[in-house]
Chains A and B, each alone.
Chain A
Amino acid sequence: MTKQTPNSYKPGVDRLEDMNKQALVAWLEAELRGQMHILAGKEEDYPVQAIVNHHPYLSIATQRRVGDALESLVLDWRKDLSAWPEASVRALLSLVAELGVEGAKRKLLPLVSDRRVWGQIAVLQPAVLRALATLSLNEDRMFWSQLPQQYPEFAGMAFQVLTRIAADDALQLLSRIPDNGIAVGSVARTLPDFLSQFSPERTIAILNQLAGAIAKLSSESAANLKQALEDSGYSISLPPCPSKEKEDFCKTMNSFAKKARSTNRLPLEFAHAF
């Protein structure tokens, strides 16, 4: 059953219903830039929450026009990346994601594939990927599976998206998660909920696979993942960790070398030989 439009939303809904696409583009841009607020809400609701609140009460045709207007604004921003304040872009990206503006996906993807442009929006990279993540469907699994090769710092986010759109691809990505705190932390925050969707038998098989993947990580990363699983009631037994042995060996050798002469350092090739 469709909810009745709350009385206090009616004036705002009526105003938006009367706007054509061009008027919506002008209004949305002014909202996003903080120059105008016409919808009911308090200061902290502007611009995104007030629009998200009113959106379900718009007619389908107006919702479509709002989506088209947001797509136009994404294009405007893309054409001149420096012309929009960071907060306005974040609000725009939140809106396209939360209102499910699927067309925006095609307009955002070129930003990721062009390294030069991607570098220009360093501070907004997570926000762009977050919007793409929300809009992604199963057909986008290749993009997310390949993203960690290009940008390892977003491997954890890629895993998070894949758990939703392509579980098998997420499992494959687990075995090549880069050993850095960012990626491992993202996986740790997602893994227990991801596992909870599988049958007990499948969960055991996945945990075994996971144990192998975890064993390749540094002791700190492995401990992080193990704790996340144990905190959610999963038990995982890790095989002896070669990297841990290597870490211990390196520490011992360093300590020995420094005792012999304080300026000594363990040669890298020696460590690799181990």
Chain B
Amino acid sequence: MSFTTAKANLVNSKQQALDSLIVAWTSSGAVAKQAAANLQNERGIEIDKLERYLGELAERAPQLCVATPRAEFEQVGKPFRLAGHAATPWKGVIFGRAMLLEKYARYVSPELDKLCYTDTAEIIRATLRKLDGMDEAAAPPYLRGYLQAIRQTSLGKGAVFAIFAKPAKTGLRPWRAPIPNADAIRSSIALGEDDEGKDYILFAYCLPPGVFPRVPTTASPGWFYQQWFRPNDCAATDLHGWTEPLTPGFDRQPEIVHEEISGTTVVFPIHIATA
């Protein structure tokens, strides 16, 4: 057990602090309970790094034993959220991300402004929908700025989770026709904090040179997403994580994390998953 081994390497006082933290979280709310379980099942990170991570958590145990220790937990976890095993075998695959359409419309608007595409929020959302399935070369002049803005807009913040198709094949996208609906997307990639009944924009993209995929660690999803995150028992050999679908009937998806990147390497077309 990675957790047990790493914990055993800590000094006694830290081991006790960590035990108290696990006990406190286990008897607390749903997020804390799952965070305790995730930590004890961690397999995505080398033992020496896990030991450092556990040591940091033990040191801050008093501050982490509160109802919502989000800020403290994420502060401690920051150096470890992209510290999982290198997921090198998947470097060249096409990754996929889903974001709520309304959120992405907000994200892309500053870039549209820079290009003098001064549309209302309603029209930005409607225009993104029009790009559903449209090849880059087929985009008419009045839509081209949108593709440019997408390339300039960040694909996520923090440790960016992405899925891919396995077995991996060159050019294989994570989502193929027929594109799943929003409920299937939300459920299969465990976007548990997104309210139900909303549309998603789906991106396929490659990682730019110098950016490498990593196995997600317990520190990767931040505090609130502990509830929807499950460490992969076989992370050390699979070299990726698995999503934990929110409801039965959906396939789990292989997932990795990477640093923040812009949409420069988006592989058009984008797709819209409707609710």
Q: Which residues of A contact B (CB under 8 A)?
A: 3, 6-8, 11, 36-38, 40-45, 48-50, 52-53, 56, 90, 94, 97-98, 123, 126-127, 129-130, 133-134, 153-154, 156-157, 160-161, 164, 181-182, 184-186, 188-190, 193, 224, 227-228, 231
Chain A hits for B67, CB < 8 A: 11
Across the interface, B141 reaches (CB within 8 A) one of A97, A127, A227, namely A227
Known: A49-B106, A189-B142, A228-B140. 14 other contacts (CB 8 A): A8-B30, A41-B224, A42-B222, A44-B103, A48-B106, A52-B102, A98-B102, A129-B118, A133-B122, A153-B118, A157-B119, A185-B145, A189-B123, A228-B142
The answer to whether A156 and B142 touch (CB under 8 A), given A36-B71, A127-B113, is no
**Contact stretch, chosen from B53-61, B165-173, B187-195, B210-218:** B187-195
Across the interface, A154 reaches (CB within 8 A) one of B118, B121, B122, namely B118
Assess the A8–B68 pair: CB atoms within 8 A: no
B176 at interface by CB-CB < 8 Å: no
A-B contact pairs, 21 of them (CB 8 A): A3-B196, A11-B29, A38-B70, A42-B222, A44-B103, A53-B194, A98-B121, A127-B109, A129-B118, A130-B119, A130-B121, A133-B120, A153-B116, A153-B118, A161-B120, A182-B118, A186-B117, A189-B119, A189-B130, A228-B140, A228-B142
Q: Which residue from chain B places its CB closest to the CB of A44 in the assembled complex?
A: B157
Give chain A's interface secondary structure class.
helix
* Minimum CB–CB distance for A220 against chain B, Å: 8
* Minimum CB–CB distance for B237 against chain A, Å: 27
Chain B hits for A94, CB < 8 A: 106, 121
B110 at interface by CB-CB < 8 Å: yes
Assess the B224–A193 pair: CB atoms within 8 A: no
Assess the B109–A130 pair: CB atoms within 8 A: yes
B254 at interface by CB-CB < 8 Å: no
Q: Which residue from chain A places its CB closest to the CB of B29 in the assembled complex?
A: A11
Chain B hits for A190, CB < 8 A: 123
Total of A-B residue pairs, C-beta within 8 Å: 123
* Minimum CB–CB distance for A53 against chain B, Å: 5
Chain A hits for B112, CB < 8 A: 126
Assess the B113–A123 pair: CB atoms within 8 A: yes
Assess the B142–A53 pair: CB atoms within 8 A: no
* Minimum CB–CB distance for B59 against chain A, Å: 23
Across the interface, B116 reaches (CB within 8 A) one of A90, A161, A182, namely A182
Chain A hits for B109, CB < 8 A: 90, 126-127, 130
Chain B hits for A90, CB < 8 A: 109-110
Q: Which of B119, B120, B193, B222 has the most C-beta atoms of chain A within 10 angstroms of its own C-beta?
A: B120
Assess the A8–B224 pair: CB atoms within 8 A: yes
B263 at interface by CB-CB < 8 Å: no
B39-97: which residues lie under 8 A (CB-CB) from chain A? 67-68, 70-71
Assess the A44–B156 pair: CB atoms within 8 A: yes
B267 at interface by CB-CB < 8 Å: no
Chain A hits for B119, CB < 8 A: 130, 156-157, 160, 186, 189
Q: Which residue from chain A places its CB closest to the CB of B156 in the assembled complex?
A: A44
Chain A hits for B120, CB < 8 A: 130, 133-134, 157, 160-161
Chain A hits for B106, CB < 8 A: 48-49, 94
Assess the A134–B195 pair: CB atoms within 8 A: no
Tally of contact residues, B, Cβ under 8 A? 45
The answer to whether A44 and B158 touch (CB under 8 A), given A8-B224, A52-B102, is yes
Chain A hits for B29, CB < 8 A: 11
B225 at interface by CB-CB < 8 Å: yes
Across the interface, B123 reaches (CB within 8 A) one of A48, A153, A160, namely A160
Chain B hits for A44, CB < 8 A: 99, 103, 156-158
Chain A hits for B127, CB < 8 A: 189
B221 at interface by CB-CB < 8 Å: yes
B261 at interface by CB-CB < 8 Å: no
B31 at interface by CB-CB < 8 Å: yes
Q: Which residue from chain B places its CB closest to the CB of A231 in the assembled complex?
A: B140
The docked-state distance in angstroms from the alpha carbon of A181 to that of B123 is 17
The answer to whether A126 and B118 touch (CB under 8 A), given A193-B126, A228-B140, is yes
* Minimum CB–CB distance for B210 against chain A, Å: 22
Chain A hits for B17, CB < 8 A: none
Assess the A186–B70 pair: CB atoms within 8 A: no
Chain A hits for B158, CB < 8 A: 42-44
The docked-state distance in angstroms from the alpha carbon of A44 to that of B30 is 22
Chain A hits for B130, CB < 8 A: 189
B227 at interface by CB-CB < 8 Å: yes
B143 at interface by CB-CB < 8 Å: yes
* Minimum CB–CB distance for A87 against chain B, Å: 8
Assess the A45–B123 pair: CB atoms within 8 A: no
B10 at interface by CB-CB < 8 Å: no
* Minimum CB–CB distance for A167 against chain B, Å: 15
Assess the A156–B193 pair: CB atoms within 8 A: no
